[in-house]
Amino acid sequence: MRKRLVSMLLAGCMVVSLCGCGKTAAGDTATDTTSTDSGTEEAATEEAAAVPGEVFGDTVQYDPNVPINNGEDIKIDFWEWGSDELFQQIVDGYTAIHPNVQIELVNNPWEDYWTKLPLALDGKDGPAIFNIHNSYHQNIVNYCAPYDIPTEDLEKDFNGVAAHVIDGNVYYIDYGIMTGSVYYNKDMWEAAGLTDADIPKTWDDMIAVAKKLTIKDGDNIVQAGWSFNDNVNSNYLMGVNYQLGQNLFDTDNKTCVVDNDATKKVFQMLIDAYDKEGVGSKDFGTSATDSFGQGQAAMAIAWGWFNNTLQSDYPDINYGVFEIPTFDGDPYAYNRYNGESTFGINKNADEKQQAVAQDIVKYFLANDELQVKFNLAMNTFPAKTSLADNEEILSNKAMAAIADHIDKYIWPGPVPATVEDSLKIAAENVFYNDMSIDEALKTAQDTINNDLKSKNFEAVESLYKYAK
């Protein structure tokens, strides 16, 4: 009897686990979306995508009345990672205009995407169109076909296009830009007697405010006023240096120069903030963003993605966002940014499929509604210049914080991972292993330049609008 009971329990567990597997599999694998499936239950329950009748777009325009593939049926694959619902809106909108096109949306987990994609693109059956992240530029760009949109048209509509021009061609651009801003806990702010007027503009102000926000029990910190644990490299050593006019790369655009006075000054400011001013501690919280989310830190600098994380993982945190402080109020640039990229087109795909992919890119670039949706979803500021004043965009905390000086952020280019990794080691060596700043930065610079020898990387800091 007992064995039978155990058997039934185990069988029950197996059924439950199999159900779990099924659900996961559905979420992680291909999602087939067929434009011609308009009669399905799914389509019937969802609001039908609007079909525009007129040409739309600014300089890059899209004419929905021009048939694609001569109106003949065609199927293409569209690869992306983790944003099914978002990409589904492109698919729905596009296939409503062109019902002869069937788009299979294939969602790969991020971890697998970057090994599977280049191998798929190298063969004949790779996706005709795919999502790109510029950190994998070097592994992907050789498989991309250039956009058949004139570069000058792209430049009229979008910021930062010049940085993406390779031998006169554009393979992808940014539809949005993301950077670091200061997230602050409004409840802690109020409890410390601070108001909006106290929002710091300079680093000195930031430290002064952080001191008011710090709570201690004897020598132990209970609440950090400002935490930068685990992100000194990405949010400070690779960004605040620009405020002092110091690029990450030399004028040859190939040699990394992180061992410099400006970066040392930034480093020293952070050490002093903890050790002299006591606004936090290297041992209080393992990550600044986690500490902020857990209500243990009042301020933390994070990029736009953190806005999503707070809403999804820490919905009880009452927070605001303000622009990163500067040393003197008139920085060379406020910070480094990185772009969310438009889609790549597979040069090895069938010509007809490539033509459809080119058409989808044009549809996406010309479509303001999609541009806004994508930027809101990714917490990026639109690269499309006409959307800089868009109300929906400016209602987003992360974007509103950077809107006033959006042209004063620098993109260094698709920087290889060794830069961020080596500076992470440098930061840990200084904060935890008692290494001097000089030695840590010199070691990092040597490692980076050694690694860059095998990379075909060229920085684009010189293309910054206010480059000296």
Partner 1 sequence: MFKKQHALQSKSEIALRNIVVSGTLIFYLIFLIVPIGIALVGSFHEWNPLDGTYRFLGLENYINIMKSGDFWNSIWNTILFSVVVIFFRVGLGFLCAYAIFSSLIKFKGFYRAIYYMPVVTPMIAVAYVWKFIYHPQIGLLNHLLGTHVNWLMNANTALIAIMAMTIWKDFGYAVVMFMAGLYSLPEDAMEAAKVDGCTGVQLLRYVTLPLLKPMTLFVVVTSIINYLQAYVQVMVMTEGGPGKATYLSSYIIYNEAFVKYNFGYASAMAFILFVVTAVLTVISFRVSADKV
Distance CA 63, CA 162 (A): 26
Least distance (Å) between residue 457 CB and partner 1: 12
Number of residues near partner 1 (by CB under 8 A):
30
Regarding 50 and contact with partner 1 (CB under 8 A), the answer is: no
Q: Which two tokens stand for residue 278?
A: 């006591």
Query: What sections of 143-201 are H helices per DSSP?
Result: 151-157, 186-191
Regarding 24 and contact with partner 1 (CB under 8 A), the answer is: no
Q: Of the ranges 30-38, 88-96, 196-204, 277-285, which one interacts with partner 1 (CB under 8 A)? A: 277-285
Least distance (Å) between residue 228 CB and partner 1: 14
Fill in the per-residue mask, 369 to 408: x = in contact with partner 1 (CB under 8 A), - = not in contact.
----------------------------------------
Regarding 416 and contact with partner 1 (CB under 8 A), the answer is: yes
Regarding 153 and contact with partner 1 (CB under 8 A), the answer is: no
Regarding 436 and contact with partner 1 (CB under 8 A), the answer is: no
Question: Residue 408: in which H helix or E strand, if any?
Answer: none
Regarding 293 and contact with partner 1 (CB under 8 A), the answer is: no
Residue ranges in 132-151 that form contacts with partner 1 under rule CB under 8 A: 138-139, 142
Cβ proximity to partner 1, 370 vs 437, nearer residue: 437
Residue 253: count other Cβ atoms within 10 Å of its Cβ. Answer: 16
Least distance (Å) between residue 293 CB and partner 1: 13
Task: Report which of 306, 380, 368 is spatially closest to residue 339, judged by C-alpha positions.
Answer: 380
Distance CA 389, CA 400 (A): 10
Q: Of the ranges 38-46, 64-72, 184-192, 421-429, which one interacts with partner 1 (CB under 8 A)? A: 421-429
Distance CA 150, CA 325 (A): 38
- Angstrom CA distances, 409 to 14, 232, 301, 393, 412, stand at 53, 18, 16, 18, 10
Least distance (Å) between residue 433 CB and partner 1: 5
Query: What sections of 329-367 are H helices per DSSP?
Result: 351-366
Distance CA 413, CA 200 (A): 29
Least distance (Å) between residue 231 CB and partner 1: 13
Task: Report which of 40, 124, 57, 453 is spatially closest to residue 256, judged by C-alpha positions.
Answer: 453
Binding residues (CB under 8 A) for partner 1: these are 114-115, 118-119, 122, 138-139, 142, 220, 282-286, 294, 296, 416-418, 421, 424-425, 428-429, 431-433, 435, 451, 454
